[in-house]
Amino acid sequence: METFAGFDRPSGPAGVRNYVAVIPVSVAASAVADAIADRAGEQVHSTPHQMGTDPPEQAREQIERTLSGIGTNPNVGAAVVVELGTESTDADAVADAIADAERDVEVLRIRDRGGTSAAVEAGVEAADRLWADIAGLERTEQDASQLIFGVECGGSDATSGIASNPAVGRACDRLVEDGGTASFSETPEFIGAEHILADRCESESLRERLLERVDFRESAAQLMGVDLRGAQPSPGNQEGGLTTIEEKSLGAIVKGGTTAVRGLVDYAESLPVGGGLVLMDTPGYDIESVVGKVAGGAQIVAFTTGRGSTTGNPIAPVIKVTGNPKTAERLASNMDIDVSTILEGESIESAGDRVYDLLLEVASGERTAAELRRLEEFAINELQPNELAQLRENA
């Protein structure tokens, strides 16, 4: 059984990082959250986003679910929740969810503090206080089965389906074999490959639910009377040799490996520990999609890229994997592992084992290229009108 050196939490699986999260509930509190994290110590990370102060009810639920998930991610030891004071998104509900996971949490209201300067001051003090309580925590040996591994692809090209995604898929298979959880998402990028995933679903009800979700995402294009081809594959994907969404999807789904599909959760919904391969229903935007899985509990992410994406995440380390030899060379400082060697004859098993070894090293504290450069992109998926309508219908 593989192990890593991680941080015990009072509840839930071990963390691979030990952070104080500063979580704004709206765009109106995001600048203050950023300022707090900038001034507090290096272990204090903010999650700024663009969500408004009074979103529709279903959107608000998704924002609260996402922020609660971020605050209870195993990498978060304590949190400060920041609000302006006018938001319908409930800072106290988010804080309660974090407290329920037995993490220390404080709520900071900018208006109550008498403005942004005083709020930043108070926020830095709170973050320092919370950090002092968790700073002494040391890494101990943890079973790999506690890991929830989020996998993502972005800036895909033809090498994604040939090299980087199969290599990461092999690492997912290794982790699932060791009792852990692997998750990938981006439902629009199941289109044309959904029959393969459907055949691997553990139950008939799961299979039906998966196909319904794919239909919904595909019909979204129909509903708007537009051709999905304008966006899928993207112009960059096309330049990289991907002609159709089917081709992109067939290359994309291999990043989840070859094991049975054991579940399908909503955006930012909790991913099970020891859950095998679990899909998350998300749109096809990399950063939102990574955030959804981190809010679902993923402690660590692998992000494959052919053309070269540099994005990270404030809460979970993001391992950059490329199968494109030109990108491996040109963007060497932003890549963590080069599996373009597969094109030269390295087996997928061997390259995938290197990814799995790196996963355990990063879980144990080795910093990724995105972490070293403090690339910490964060965005929450904003529900579109047709999605809100469907959620209202199902309510």
Of 96 and 346, the one with the shorter C-beta distance to other proteins is 346
Q: CA 256 → CA 112, 147, 185, 247, 261, distances in Å?
A: 46, 15, 9, 16, 9
Of 48 and 188, the one with the shorter C-beta distance to other proteins is 188
Distance of closest approach, residue 355 Cβ to other proteins, in angstroms:
15
Distance of closest approach, residue 79 Cβ to other proteins, in angstroms:
39
Distance of closest approach, residue 180 Cβ to other proteins, in angstroms:
24
Distance of closest approach, residue 185 Cβ to other proteins, in angstroms:
17
d(CA 25, CA 105): 14
Distance of closest approach, residue 191 Cβ to other proteins, in angstroms:
5
Structure tokens at 328: 């491996």
Interface ranges with other proteins (CB under 8 A): 157-159, 161-163, 166, 188, 191-193, 196, 218, 221-229, 232, 238, 240-241, 243-247, 250-251, 306, 324, 326, 342-343, 345, 347-348
Of 150 and 352, the one with the shorter C-beta distance to other proteins is 352
Structure tokens at 38: 């900038």
Distance of closest approach, residue 234 Cβ to other proteins, in angstroms:
12
Name the nearest CA neighbour of 2 among 173, 118, 229, 235.
173
DSSP string covering 60-84, please? HHHHHHHHHHHHTSTTEEEEEEEE-
d(CA 391, CA 236): 33
Of 150 and 192, the one with the shorter C-beta distance to other proteins is 192
Of 68 and 156, the one with the shorter C-beta distance to other proteins is 156
Name the nearest CA neighbour of 65 among 55, 32, 313, 41.
55
Of 223 and 332, the one with the shorter C-beta distance to other proteins is 223
d(CA 282, CA 84): 28
Whether cis (ω within 30° of 0) applies to the bond prior to 233 is yes
